[in-house]
Structure formats: structure tokens, C-alpha cells
């Protein structure tokens, strides 16, 4: 059942990738400590399979359960964000489209709408000003 679910949704079971001692594999302990099984799994998308660096259980963790805590270590990459440049032509086009939209409304509503849009734009620009490059 779990294997079929993983195949349908493009998932990978990460617990089975890493060779560990038995005490780091089992996730459930029967009452009386006479049987131990691997019942809990960490599933990741197939695309992110190489991001998983380690998966193990922590049998000594006090979580008030008959299950052991299952932990995975992931490597994450943070992509650099390049500043976006607003060209004067691009800005002009956006203002022109906005003005054309405003003309479709009645005159008294146009003023209220324009004032509201300008206030929102001003607050947005004050918080994070764009890098403007005029050509």
C-alpha cells in the first residue's frame, strides 16, 4: 500500500536509504519490549531525494509514546535573489494600463480609486524601494 502510494505521488521512502544499526532503525516498540518494528516513515518528493542527508530514530527521546522519534537531516540551498530593474518603458506601460482602467469608472469613483492606488503604491515603495534603471 505504501509503495503504491509513493509510486502514484512521486515520493521516496527515505528511511530505507541509510545503513544503520538496528537501534536506529525501529520506530515502534511493543509493550513489554518483546518486539520492535519499523512503522514510521519519512517521505519526500522524488525531486528532493538528494537533499536528504541522514534519517535515524532517537530511542532515548522522551516523547511520551511507544514510538521512537524519527529524525531526518536535510541540506537546503538558498537561491540568490537578483534585484529586479524597472525600466522607464515598463513603468510607463503599467501607468498607461492603470489609467485606461480608471477611465472605465465614473468620475467621482475614479478619484477615490486613484487615491487608494497611489497610497498603496507609496507605502509599498517606502518599505522596499525598487532599483530603477532609466534607459
**pLDDT computed for residue 5 by the predictor:** 92
Place of cell 527515505: 14
- pLDDT at 74 exceeding the cut of 50: yes
**pLDDT computed for residue 135 by the predictor:** 45
The top-scoring range by mean pLDDT among 72-81, 86-95, 104-113 is 72-81
pLDDT in tens, 20-53: 888 888 888 888 878 888 888 889 999 888 888 9
| pTM for this prediction | 0.52
Q: Name the region of 70 (left: φ>0; alpha: ψ -120 to 50; beta: rest).
A: beta
**pLDDT computed for residue 45 by the predictor:** 92
DSSP 55-116: EEEETT---SSSBPEEEEEE---PPPPPPPEE-HHHHHHHHHHHHHHHTTS-HHHHHHHHHH
For residue 114 the three cell numbers come to: 486613484
When the pLDDT of each residue in the chain is averaged and rounded to a whole number, the result is 78
Amino acid at each position: 500500500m505504501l509503495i503504491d502510494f509513493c509510486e502514484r505521488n512521486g515520493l521516496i521512502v527515505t528511511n530505507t536509504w541509510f545503513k544503520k544499526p538496528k537501534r536506529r532503525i525501529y520506530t515502534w516498540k511493543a509493550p513489554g519490549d518483546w518486539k520492535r518494528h519499523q512503522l514510521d516513515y519519512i517521505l519526500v518528493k522524488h525531486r528532493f531525494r538528494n537533499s536528504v542527508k541522514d534519517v535515524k530514530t532517537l530511542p532515548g527521546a522522551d516523547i511520551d509514546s511507544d514510538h521512537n522519534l524519527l529524525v531526518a537531516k536535510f541540506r537546503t540551498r538558498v537561491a540568490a535573489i537578483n534585484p529586479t530593474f524597472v525600466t522607464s518603458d515598463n513603468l510607463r506601460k503599467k501607468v498607461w494600463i492603470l489609467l485606461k482602467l480608471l477611465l472605465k469608472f465614473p468620475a467621482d469613483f475614479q478619484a477615490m480609486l486613484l487615491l487608494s492606488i497611489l497610497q498603496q503604491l507609496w507605502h509599498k515603495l517606502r518599505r522596499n524601494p525598487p532599483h530603477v534603471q532609466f534607459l
